Amino acid sequence: MELKVQPFVISLQHATAQIVPKQAKGRPLLFANWSLILFFIVMAFKKITAFKAMEAYAKKHYASFGFPKPPSRQTLMRRFGEMPECLKKLMPALTEQAIELDLIDRKRFGFCDKSIFTAFRGYVWHKKHRLQNAVPSKHIDTAASWAKSAYHDWRYGYGLIIVSSANRFPMNACVETASYKEVHVLPDLLKPLAAWLFVVVGDKAYHNIRGITNIYKSLKIIVLSPCAFVHESRENRWYNRLWNDLSTVLQTLYFERKKSIEPVFSLIKELFDLKWNTPLPYKSKEKVEPYLLLLTVSIQLMMIQNNAKGQPLGSAKDFRSLFL
């Protein structure tokens, strides 16, 4: 199938055209960002994770991705590692497109949460070994960390943090190790979305009075967590007044959180076979970060594609069939 004529490819080309690359010395980029993003998404669908195998696939199908010639393994490795910088600008650009297409409602509220993905091959680095600075296996990803999941107890790996709309469109995302506190990255996640968001709803992990107060002062975005309903303190006065004034609306929003943000993670895990404790195919944050961000962008593109074809936004079957 000729992927270039698909609506999501046109959308991807348009969004990446708005990203101004840094001026660097030497020859200009031979492979466009949009074509490499598309290539890496196809590799993720086909579960081709080794760069040598990617090089072999590109030699046969490079014309389908708009490549002037097959990229080398070194080029693929380098550009894959550089993907996060581009993808962090691409996701808000695709969100802007989605708003223009009325794919996202204009009620100006969203939802945020973190999902933990198991580290490379399922290997874990136990606390006793970390304290001794001993690595029992070369397959252990020492950059990952431990965190407790509400559904899966303790997990060792990385966290994908997503801000989504009420209708499950992922508007922005970032990747940190599992133990990293989501509230610390929230300002950077929300800043590109400040023109469209007024209220963001999260779980108790996002309740940090100083942090959410600074977000409100700088971005005029209210961050809502269940702790606002129970804590009464001098520091919380502005939050309590807000809750009293808007209690019915905010409480309704909070109970919408689970059915709005959780399905986004379910879509990612279903599309790329990462359900339950299926481990990540990459080791180290330098590779895990671009991989998980690419998966999030693929959900954005899938929803844009479904919207163009009049299908339910979360319908994954037709989109997946394009790549397999």
Residue-level pLDDT at 317 = 87
- Of the spans 118-127, 145-154, 223-232, which averages the highest pLDDT? 118-127
Q: Does the predicted TM-score (pTM) go above 0.95? A: no
Residues 87 and 137 in one domain: no
More confident residue, 19 or 279: 279
Q: Residue 2: pLDDT band by 50, 70, 90 thresholds?
A: low
The rounded distance, in Å, linking the Cα atoms of 248 and 65 is 50
Domain span including residue 230? 106-282
Q: Are residues 250 and 298 in the same domain?
A: no
301 and 219 in a single domain? The answer is: no
Whether residue 213 sits in one domain with residue 112: yes
* Domain shared by 155 and 265, yes or no: yes
Q: From the centroid of its chain, how far is CA 77?
A: 20
Residues 26 and 45 in one domain: yes
Task: Work out how many domains the chain is built from and give that number.
Answer: 2
- pLDDT for 216-272, tens place per residue? 889 999 888 766 555 455 555 666 666 566 566 666 777 777 778 889 999 999 999
Q: Is 289 helix (H, G, I), strand (E, B) or coil?
A: helix
CA angle 119, 171, 122 (to 5 degrees): 5
Instruction: Check whether residue 79 and residue 110 sit in a common domain.
Output: no
Domain co-membership, 179 together with 272: yes
Q: Answer yes or no: do 179 and 291 share one domain.
A: no
Collect all residues with Cβ–Cβ distance below 8 Å to 204 and sequence separation of at least 6: 225, 226, 227
For 28-64, the pLDDT digits (tens) are 678 999 999 999 999 999 999 999 999 999 999 999 9
| pLDDT surpassing 60 at residue 168 | yes
Residues 191 and 292 reside in one and the same domain: no
Structure tokens at 157: 């790996």
pLDDT in tens, 184-220: 999 999 999 999 898 898 888 887 778 888 898 899 9
Q: Give the Cα separation of 215 and 209 in Å (integer).
A: 10
255 and 184 co-located in one domain: yes
Residues 186 and 226 in one domain: yes
